[in-house]
Amino acid sequence: MSKTILKGGKVVDANASREADVLIMDGIISEVDNNLYVGDDVEVVNIAGLTVMPSFADLHVHLRDPGFLHKETLETGIRAAVNGGYTHIVAMANTKPIADNTEVIADVLARAQRLSLSEVYQAAAVSVGEKGEKTVDFRTLRSLTKFFSDDGKNVDSEELFAEALRASKELDFLIMDHSEPETEMVLRNIELLEKNGGNLHFCHISKADSMMAIMNAKDKGLRVTVEVTPHHLFGYDNDYRVNPPLATKADVDFLIRAIKDGYVDCISTDHAPHTAEDKAVGAPGISGIEVAFPIINTVFSENGIKPEGLSRLMSKNPMIMMGVDPGLLQVGYEANLVIVDESADVVVDASKFVSMGKNTPFNGTKLKGKVIHTIKKGEFLK
């Protein structure tokens, strides 16, 4: 039986923050208390001055595999996730070929499992080939995934989107919506949700008007969830190419207010690695999963949002949406943990990214917070 004590640190999850030791036995959190006994058979990891939290979960990652291996591979993308403190990620379907069939999805899941790093959930497309003409076979694909998204493209057909929403209600899966133009399509899709029912998740919301519409839908009791990204909370009035575009300071302030008021469900990175050549010709996206924690830690600390709030949006809520242990640091749960230095000054250095994508507008930016270790089922991956 393997035993490890994380000793002398601060323990944070969505519910509380306190000083405590953490005992891990055979990959499970076995005890969380002060001054835990250290026997001869226990490995002690001194984390004095550091914070241990549930590991992060990301609902929105582009692994580019299969088909775009010059941008990222399954292995480099997953290792980048681990470097950023993530043990659970959802990969988007806009690969080549599109993940709209069981063969592509099963292949990605099998290869990811063999790597024994982060848990990977492969999203399926909503429409065949992401062409917006015909829905995929939701019933068959549901056995492999609970996430469906034509990410990178808008679903223009109201009839097709309504059909997808009705299927999501019947089969209990999540439609992850890429709204473009953002506010116009958010309003349309909320209206379709109200008429048809379903489970709708809005990806990478950046504008105040969009968030207000989603808040109103939540107040009506509609089954709608929403994510915001680190780059849309940190970057504004910047012409760096992403979809949706980086917005204004007023938009960012409204997103922060929505977080404080409890309307935002999770932080997702929309990690989108590109080559320098692709960015030079206008490819939209940011390689962001490795600096998500320091960006959010910086933004939240500057806006008076406690670490418990960060853990709720980066661990607990997305874990629940994935259907796994609810991202809490409690006895009996898997020891999926991240050890961070909340106060460390760091400077973004894209050249040191594990990801093949070095594309970020934040290179050279000073942030606060650093991932020290990533632990999955008690095993130190970083």
What pTM did the predictor assign? 0.97
**26 catalytic residue (yes or no):** no
For the chain, what is the largest distance between any 2 Cα atoms, rounded to a whole number of angstroms?
65
**Mean pLDDT, to the nearest integer, of 2-31?**
97
Peptide bond into 244 cis (omega under 30): yes
The single-letter code of the amino acid at 4 is: T
Q: What local confidence, expressed as pLDDT, does residue 94 receive?
A: 97
> Band of the pLDDT at 377, cuts 50, 70, 90?
very high
Q: What local confidence, expressed as pLDDT, does residue 326 receive?
A: 85
Please give the Cα distance from 215 to 100 (Å, whole number).
Answer: 31
- Residue 229 sits at φ, ψ, to 5 deg, of -105, 155
> Band of the pLDDT at 39, cuts 50, 70, 90?
confident
Domains and CATH numbers, the chain: 3-52+334-380 (2.30.40.10), 56-322 (3.20.20.140)
H or E segment and range at residue 190:
helix 182-196
Please give the Cα distance from 327 to 185 (Å, whole number).
Answer: 31
Which one from 270, 325, 341, 349 is the annotated catalytic residue?
270
Average pLDDT, the chain: 97
**Cβ proximity of 41 and 330 under 8 Å:** no
Express each pLDDT in 298-341 by its tens digit. 999 999 999 999 999 999 999 999 999 788 999 999 999 999 99
Please give the Cα distance from 206 to 245 (Å, whole number).
Answer: 8
Which strands make up the sheet holding 224-228, listed edge to edge? 147-148, 174-177, 200-202, 224-228, 266-267
Express each pLDDT in 251-281 by its tens digit. 999 999 999 999 999 999 999 999 999 999 9
Strand extents, DSSP E, the chain: 3-12, 17-25, 28-33, 43-46, 51-54, 56-61, 86-91, 119-122, 147-148, 174-177, 200-202, 224-228, 266-267, 337-347, 366-376, 379-380
**DSSP states of 217-285:** HHHTT--EEEEE-HHHHH--S-----SSPP--HHHHHHHHHHHHTT---EE---B----HHHHHTT---
Express each pLDDT in 116-172 by its tens digit. 999 999 999 999 999 999 999 999 999 999 999 999 899 999 999 999 999 999 999
Per-residue tokens: 225: 């969830």
**Mean pLDDT, to the nearest integer, of 1-27?**
96
